[in-house]
C-alpha cells in the first residue's frame, strides 16, 4: 500500500498523479538508534544486472543517520529515486541532508545520486579515491562537493563517527565499507548481500539456511573472482579488532543475529573449499551427449560422489555456478555443431571462466556427426581456466553403443578417484 | 621494456609511464617496483601480474 498520508511534499502527490512513482514505498525501519533503513525493495526484478538470476527479487538498501550532520549512506537505482526521496521525507525534509556517503558507485547504488544532489544540495559527498574517478566518469559533474576519504580515515557526524575502510574489488575498485563504532555497525556495500526482496529486513526473521544459500548464489556469481580480496579484507577486519554486531549490506537482509555465520560463510566461500560433488552440465541435440554424461554420472554416484546433472536448456548459467560453488569437478558435454560446441555451452563456459573458480577438476565429452571438435574445444576452455583435466576428451560418432557408454562410466570411475585424491590433499 | 597486465582488473603497467600517482617515476621496470607496490586500479599485489603477451 502507498502510504499517502505520510507524504508531506505536495510535489510527490503530483508525481503519483502523473504516474512517475515506480514502486510502492516501504515502511522505514530504525536499525540502530537514529540509523534508519530508507531503501527500496525491487519485488519484480528477476535478473540481477542482466547476468545472474534473482528469483526472489532484491533490495537496494540505503541508510539515513539522524545526527548533527544528517547523513545518507548509499542510494538506489535511478528508477527508484522517488521511493528513496519519500523514505527520507518520512524522517526529515530531504534538503536537511548534509552528507551523502557513496560506498560504491555502481548504478544500483548511485543511480539516484544526481536527483538527490539536486534535491538536497549536500555539503559533502564522501567516497574512496577510486570512487572520485568513478563518480566523475559516471555523472560528469566536477562541480559536486566530493570529498575523498582514504582507508582508515574517520569523520564525525556529531554523536556518531564514521570510519572508512577500502574494500577494493568487493565488488568494484571503488568499493569501501563504512563503520559506525558507536553502533558497532558495518555498512558493507555489496559484500555479505543476497538477492531477496522482503519486508522482513533482519536475518532472524528468515530461515538461516535459505539466507546462506542465497548468499552463496550471490557470492559465486558476483564476488568469486575477487576471493583473494575477500580473504585479505576479512583478515584486515579481524586484525583491526573492529567490534561488529550488525552488518548492513546494500542488498537483501541485515545481519544482526547471525553475524558470525555470514562471516564464517565468506571465509568458506572465499577459500573455495570443495567437497565430494560434481556438476554435470550439458546441452544435447538428439540425446546422445545426454546419454554419455548420464552414464558418466551414474559411475560417479556408484563411487560415492554426489552429482548435480544440469541441462543448459533448463538451468541458467548463474544457477549452474551456484551449484558449482562447492563442487570438486565440472563435467561438460556437448555435441559438435558447425565445428564447435553448442551455443549454450559456449555461453556457460565464457561465464564460468570469467568467475575464475580455483582448484577444480574437469572432464569433457560429446557426440558428433562428422568433424567432432566440441570435446576438445571445451577442454581447451577448462584448461585456460586453470582446471586439472585428468582424462582425454571423449567423442562418440552419432549414437553411443553399450561399449561407448561403458567408456563413459570408466571416465566417471577415474574422475571419482581423482576427486578423492583432491579432497584428501585439501 | 615489457608491459605487465593485472590479471584481476586488466590494468596495464607501462614502464614508459610508470605510476606517478604512487611515486613511481617513468622508466621504472616492473621488476624494479617495490614489493609492496599494488595495482593502482584494484589494489592487487605484484603476484597478480603477468607479462603482456
C-alpha cell at A154: 574517520
Residue with cell 556408484: A302
What percent of chain A is predicted at pLDDT more than 70? 94
Question: Which residue among the candidates A25, A34, A42, A190 is catalytic per the annotation?
Answer: A190
Per the model's pLDDT, the better-predicted residue between A290 and B1 turns out to be: A290
Using the predicted structure, report yes or no on whether residue A426 has a pLDDT greater than 90. no
Query: How would residue A58 be classed by pLDDT, with cut points 50, 70 and 90?
Result: very high
Torsion sign over Cα A112, A180, A37, A66:
negative
Closest C-alpha among A379, A355, A378, A375 to residue A367 = A375
Per the model's pLDDT, the better-predicted residue between A139 and A8 turns out to be: A139
Question: Which residue among the candidates A11, A49, A213, A245 is catalytic per the annotation?
Answer: A49
To the nearest whole Å, the CA of A225 is away from the closest chain B CA by 8
The residue of A128, A150, A173, A174 whose CB has the most chain B CBs within 10 angstroms, and thus the best one to mutate to test that interface, is A173
Q: Is the Cβ–Cβ distance between A361 and A372 less than 8 Å?
A: no
Please state, as a whole number, how many other Cβ atoms lie within 10 Å of the Cβ of residue A4: 10
Q: Collapsing DSSP states into helix, strand and coil, what is residue A224?
A: helix
Query: Which pLDDT score, from 0 to 100, does residue A289 have?
Result: 98
Query: How would residue A74 be classed by pLDDT, with cut points 50, 70 and 90?
Result: very high
Q: What is the DSSP string of A133-161?
A: HHHHHHH--TTS-EEE--TT-EEE-SS-E
CB contacts of B41 in chain A (<8 Å) are 130, 173
Is the pTM above the cut of 0.95?
Answer: no
Query: How would residue A21 be classed by pLDDT, with cut points 50, 70 and 90?
Result: very low
Please state, as a whole number, how many other Cβ atoms lie within 10 Å of the Cβ of residue A384: 10
> What mean pLDDT is predicted for residues A28-50?
95
Angle between helices A259-271 and A227-240 (to 10 degrees): 140
Using the predicted structure, report yes or no on whether residue A386 has a pLDDT greater than 80. yes
Q: Locate the chain A residue with the closest alpha carbon to B48.
A: A228
Query: How would residue A25 be classed by pLDDT, with cut points 50, 70 and 90?
Result: low
Instruction: Please judge whether B41 and A166 are an interchain contact, meaning their C-beta atoms are less than 8 angstroms apart.
Output: no
CA dist A179 and A420 (Å) reads 43
Using the predicted structure, report yes or no on whether residue A42 has a pLDDT greater than 90. yes
Query: How would residue B41 be classed by pLDDT, with cut points 50, 70 and 90?
Result: confident
Domain layout of chain A by residue ranges: 4-271, 275-415
Torsion sign over Cα A239, A245, A249, A253:
positive
CA dist A310 and A345 (Å) reads 11
**CATH 3.40.50.360 for the A275-415 domain, yes or no:** yes
Query: How would residue A3 be classed by pLDDT, with cut points 50, 70 and 90?
Result: very low
**Catalytic status, residue A219:** no
Using the predicted structure, report yes or no on whether residue A407 has a pLDDT greater than 90. yes
Query: Which pLDDT score, from 0 to 100, does residue A24 have?
Result: 52
CB contacts of A130 in chain B (<8 Å) are 41
Query: Which pLDDT score, from 0 to 100, does residue A7 have?
Result: 38
CA dist A109 and A366 (Å) reads 44
Residue with cell 567516497: A127
Question: Which residue among the candidates A171, A206, A316, A317 is catalytic per the annotation?
Answer: A171
Query: Which pLDDT score, from 0 to 100, does residue B44 have?
Result: 87
Looking at this predicted complex, what is its ipTM? 0.73
Please state, as a whole number, how many other Cβ atoms lie within 10 Å of the Cβ of residue A338: 9
CA dist A109 and A250 (Å) reads 8
**Catalytic status, residue A140:** no
What percent of chain A is predicted at pLDDT more than 90? 91
Question: Which residue among the candidates A67, A108, A174, A373 is catalytic per the annotation?
Answer: A108
Query: Which pLDDT score, from 0 to 100, does residue A266 have?
Result: 97
CB contacts of A226 in chain B (<8 Å) are 8
| Radius of gyration in angstroms for the set of CA atoms belonging to chain A, rounded to a whole number | 25
**Catalytic status, residue A218:** yes
Query: Which pLDDT score, from 0 to 100, does residue A13 have?
Result: 43
Question: Which residue among the candidates A251, A258, A337, A404 is catalytic per the annotation?
Answer: A251
What's the longest Cα–Cα distance across chain A?
78
**Catalytic status, residue A104:** yes
**CATH 3.60.15.10 for the A4-271 domain, yes or no:** yes
**Catalytic status, residue A245:** no
Q: Which residues of A touch B (CB under 8 A)?
A: 130, 166, 168-169, 173, 225-226, 228-229
CB contacts of B9 in chain A (<8 Å) are 169, 173
Q: Locate the chain B residue with the closest alpha carbon to A171.
A: B42
Q: Locate the chain A residue with the closest alpha carbon to B11.
A: A173
CB contacts of B44 in chain A (<8 Å) are 169, 228-229
> What mean pLDDT is predicted for residues A190-200?
97
Average pLDDT over chain A reads: 94
Query: How would residue A26 be classed by pLDDT, with cut points 50, 70 and 90?
Result: confident
**Catalytic status, residue A108:** yes
CA dist A306 and B32 (Å) reads 49
Residue A18: phi, psi to the nearest 5? -80, 0
Query: How would residue A380 be classed by pLDDT, with cut points 50, 70 and 90?
Result: very high
Using the predicted structure, report yes or no on whether residue A22 has a pLDDT greater than 80. no
Amino acid at each position: 500500500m502507498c502510504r499517502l498520508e505520510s507524504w508531506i511534499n505536495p510535489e510527490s502527490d503530483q508525481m503519483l498523479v502523473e504516474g512517475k512513482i515506480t514502486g510502492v514505498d516501504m515502511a522505514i525501519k530504525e536499525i540502530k538508534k537514529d540509523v534508519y533503513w530508507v531503501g527500496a525493495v525491487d519485488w519484480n526484478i528477476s535478473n540481477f544486472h542482466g547476468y545472474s538470476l534473482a528469483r526472489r527479487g532484491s533490495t537496494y538498501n540505503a541508510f539515513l543517520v539522524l545526527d548533527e550532520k544528517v547523513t545518507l549512506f548509499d542510494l538506489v537505482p535511478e528508477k527508484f529515486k522517488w521511493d528513496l526521496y519519500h523514505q527520507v521525507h518520512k524522517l526529515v525534509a530531504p534538503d536537511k541532508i548534509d552528507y551523502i556517503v557513496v560506498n560504491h558507485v555502481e548504478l544500483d547504488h548511485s543511480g539516484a545520486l544526481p536527483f538527490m544532489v539536486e534535491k538536497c544540495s549536500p555539503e559533502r559527498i564522501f567516497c574512496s579515491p577510486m570512487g572520485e574517478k568513478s563518480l566523475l566518469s559516471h555523472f560528469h559533474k566536477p562541480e559536486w562537493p566530493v570529498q575523498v576519504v582514504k582507508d582508515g580515515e574517520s569523520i564525525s557526524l556529531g554523536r556518531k563517527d564514521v570510519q572508512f575502510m577500502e574494500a577494493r574489488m568487493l565488488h568494484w575498485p571503488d568499493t569501501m565499507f563504512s563503520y559506525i563504532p558507536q553502533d558497532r555497525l558495518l555498512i558493507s556495500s555489496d559484500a555479505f548481500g543476497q538477492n531477496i526482496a522482503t519486508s522482513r529486513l533482519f536475518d532472524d526473521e528468515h530461515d538461516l539456511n535459505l539466507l546462506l544459500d542465497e548468499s552463496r548464489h550471490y557470492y559465486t556469481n558476483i564476488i568469486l573472482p575477487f576471493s583473494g580480496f575477500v580473504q585479505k579484507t576479512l583478515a584486515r577486519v579481524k586484525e583491526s579488532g573492529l567490534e561488529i554486531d550488525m552488518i548492513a549490506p546494500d542488498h537483501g537482509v541485515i545481519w544482526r543475529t547471525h553475524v558470525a555465520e555470514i562471516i564464517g560463510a565468506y571465509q568458506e566461500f572465499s577459500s573455495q573449499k570443495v567437497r565430494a560433488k560434481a556438476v554435470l552440465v550439458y546441452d544435447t541435440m538428439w540425446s546422445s551427449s545426454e546419454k554419455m554424461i548420464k552414464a558418466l554420472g551414474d559411475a560417479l554416484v556408484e563411487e560415492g560422489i554426489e552429482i548435480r546433472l544440469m541441462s543448459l536448456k533448463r538451468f541458467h548459467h548463474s544457477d549452474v555456478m551456484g551449484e558449482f560453488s562447492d563442487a570438486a569437478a565440472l563435467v561438460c558435454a556437448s555435441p559438435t555443431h558447425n565445428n564447435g560446441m553448442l551455443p549454450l555451452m559456449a555461453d556457460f563456459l565464457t561465464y564460468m571462466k570469467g568467475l575464475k573458480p580455483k582448484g577444480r577438476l574437469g572432464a569433457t565429452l560429446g557426440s558428433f556427426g562428422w568433424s567432432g571438435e566440441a570435446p576438445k574445444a571445451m577442454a581447451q576452455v577448462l584448461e585456460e581456466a586453470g582446471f586439472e583435466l585428468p582424462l582425454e576428451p571423449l567423442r562418440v560418432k552419432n549414437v553411443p553403443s553399450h561399449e561407448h557408454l561403458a567408456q563413459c562410466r570408466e571416465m566417471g570411475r577415474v574422475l571419482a578417484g581423482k576427486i578423492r585424491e583432491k579432497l584428501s590433499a585439501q | 621494456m615489457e608491459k605487465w597486465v593485472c590479471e584481476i582488473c586488466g590494468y596495464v603497467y607501462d614502464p614508459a609511464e610508470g605510476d606517478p600517482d604512487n611515486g613511481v617515476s617513468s622508466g621504472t621496470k616492473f621488476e624494479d617496483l617495490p614489493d609492496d607496490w599494488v595495482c593502482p586500479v584494484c589494489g592487487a599485489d605484484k603476484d597478480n601480474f603477468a607479462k603482456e603477451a
